[in-house]
Amino acid sequence: MSGSEGGGGVRLTGVKVFSATKAKEREELGESVTRWLRSNADLEVVERVVTQSSDNEFHCLTIVLFYREKSATA
């Protein structure tokens, strides 16, 4: 993510990564993201990336949120 869309820069405060490999953890991943978003209501998600990968034994689901403080949008 370059952050230079449309000629202007997108200022980021941080990145939050959620990842799970076990079936039960993957099922609950959305709830974990929702809880984090609710407890960080002062943040605005500006980009998200969802990745699924697997091999013969493991299946991994990863959700990456790029965020900034809502006050930093001005």
- 44-60 pLDDT, tens per residue? 999 999 999 998 888 99
- Alpha helices for the chain (secondary structure H): 23-39
Average pLDDT on 26-53 reads 96
Q: What separation in angstroms does the CA of 32 have from each of 10, 14, 35? A: 26, 18, 5
Residue 2 in tokens: 């370059």
Given a cut of 50, whether residue 7 has pLDDT beyond it is: no
What residue has token string 């969802």? 50
| Entry pTM | 0.78
